[in-house]
Amino acid sequence: ANPMTSVLPSLPIASVTAGVATSLAGLAFCYPSSCIATLASLGLIPVAAVFTLLRALHNECDGPTARARLPLGAYNGKCVWITGASSGLGKEFALQLGKLGAKLVLSARREGALADVRAAIIEQGAPATSIVVLPCDLSDLGALPAAAEHAIQAFGGIDVLINNAGFTQRQIAQRTSFAVDIQMTTVDFLACVCLTKVLLPSMVANGGGLIINISSIAGKIGLPLRTAYCASKFALHGFFDALRAEESGHGIRVTNVCPGSVRTNIARNAVTGDVGQLRGDTDANIEAGLDPSWVCERALAAAACGLFESWLGRKSELYLPYMAHYLPDFTKVQVMKKARALVEQTLAAVEAPKES
């Protein structure tokens, strides 16, 4: 069982019948944003909040993300550095940006997989000279400044940094070694900070830049079995929201993308009790998750349109950030109640005798 989906059936709003929910979502979608803004201006904040949520559920993303349209030539000729580009969302970002005419620096640990991605982009019609493979391990913070300098030198500067690389977990904190917390915080948060700090001076000198962080719905609400992952994503939001405020006068833009379940191998590669112990199995909600191509297309459009944050998720997941925002205590209590059963299931699975 996965808490991101199993938390929700206990919530009253999730008990609305599918037909009624679909009808309400359709009704809310018919009302323009100006109507919702009018409701809010009249002091009907709860009503406006409900209509905002229903519009989001209709689109499987928040309203601004749904309405975002990629400006013509937004990424054409731009130098884009993508971390975690060998698979999953990172690979999809690379393929789409290659079609959009971007110059690409592709990074991940597996050089062979990066070479395959590069070949696929060239096969789409991109010139070979527009794609550079730059292998690096984000867990090695000491090596990252040099890697960033190489990325800058590849095309004379980086216009867009996509902090995509990262991994998650599937274990309770009590059964997880502190080494996992260190590694996850390093890869999912500190590496993003390190690369950004090296790139910032050149971005500012060139008139600005765009930083796209691939966060998660788990960066908006604490979910069980993901303590280190949630902490890293929460930290990502805190740092980059503050950075956006500091650097807004220098042309630095930041978009934090918060997807729910996406059909990638993130659950299979999730760490369990210790570093190197991988789960090796996926989640039902991941298998039924969003199409990576659609997620990347929406994220690129949202970032190009200057959105500060973009939420994407199936209807059963998109409730979470909205409820956490409007009903924080209530949502935490519901997560806590459901977490008890999930923890018991996890411990039972860990302690069950293994068949030889």
Per-residue pLDDT reduced to its tens digit, 24-40: 333 333 344 444 455 44
Question: Is 194 within the bounds of a domain?
Answer: yes
Question: Is 37 within the bounds of a domain?
Answer: no
Which range, 122-131, 170-179, 342-351, is most confident? 122-131
208: left (phi over 0), alpha (psi -120 to 50) or beta: left
Q: Answer yes or no: 229 catalytic.
A: yes
Question: Is 129 within the bounds of a domain?
Answer: yes
- Residue 188 reports pLDDT greater than 80: yes
For 20-29, 40-49, 252-261, which range has the lowest pLDDT when averaged over its residues? 20-29
Spell out where 184-312 has E strands. 209-214, 252-259, 309-312
User: Which residues, other chains included, contact 315 with Cβ-Cβ below 8 Å and sequence gap of 6+?
Assistant: 21, 57, 60
User: Which residues, other chains included, contact 205 with Cβ-Cβ below 8 Å and sequence gap of 6+?
Assistant: none
Question: Is 42 within the bounds of a domain?
Answer: no
Cα angle vertex 201, ends 196, 204, to 5°?
A: 100
Identify the pLDDT of residue 314: 84
- Residue 162 reports pLDDT greater than 50: yes
C-alpha torsion angle, residues 38, 40, 43, 45 (rounded to 10): 150
Count CA within 13 A, CB hemisphere, residue 296.
Answer: 24
State phi, psi for 312 to the nearest 5 degrees.
-135, 135
Average pLDDT over residues 311-337: 85
Residue 259's nearest CA partner among 60, 74, 14 is 60
Cα angle vertex 115, ends 281, 215, to 5°?
A: 50
Residue 227's nearest CA partner among 271, 268, 284 is 271
Query: Predicted confidence band at 69 (pLDDT cuts at 50, 70, 90)?
Result: very high
Strands 209-214, 103-107: parallel, antiparallel or unpaired by DSSP? Answer: unpaired
Residue 295's nearest CA partner among 263, 320, 318, 325 is 263
Average pLDDT over residues 317-324: 83
Are the CB atoms for 261 and 314 separated by under 8 Å? yes
Alpha-carbon distance of 285 to 295, in angstroms, equals 16
Alpha-carbon distance of 235 to 254, in angstroms, equals 15
Sign of CA dihedral 274, 277, 278, 284: negative
- Residue at token pair 């800058």: 152
| 3-state SS assignment for residue 300 | helix
Query: Predicted confidence band at 289 (pLDDT cuts at 50, 70, 90)?
Result: confident
- Between 286 and 350, whose confidence is greater? 286
Annotated active-site residue in 75, 229, 319, 322? 229
Average pLDDT over residues 94-116: 97
Question: Is 13 within the bounds of a domain?
Answer: no
Entry pTM: 0.82
**For the chain, what is the domain count?**
1
Identify the pLDDT of residue 257: 97
Alpha-carbon distance of 294 to 321, in angstroms, equals 20
Question: Is 258 within the bounds of a domain?
Answer: yes
CATH number of the domain that residue 333 is part of: 3.40.50.720
Q: Which domain holds residue 324?
A: 66-344
Identify the pLDDT of residue 346: 61
Question: Is 275 within the bounds of a domain?
Answer: yes
Q: What percent of the chain has pLDDT over 90?
A: 57
Average pLDDT over residues 311-330: 84
Query: Predicted confidence band at 336 (pLDDT cuts at 50, 70, 90)?
Result: confident
Question: Is 11 within the bounds of a domain?
Answer: no
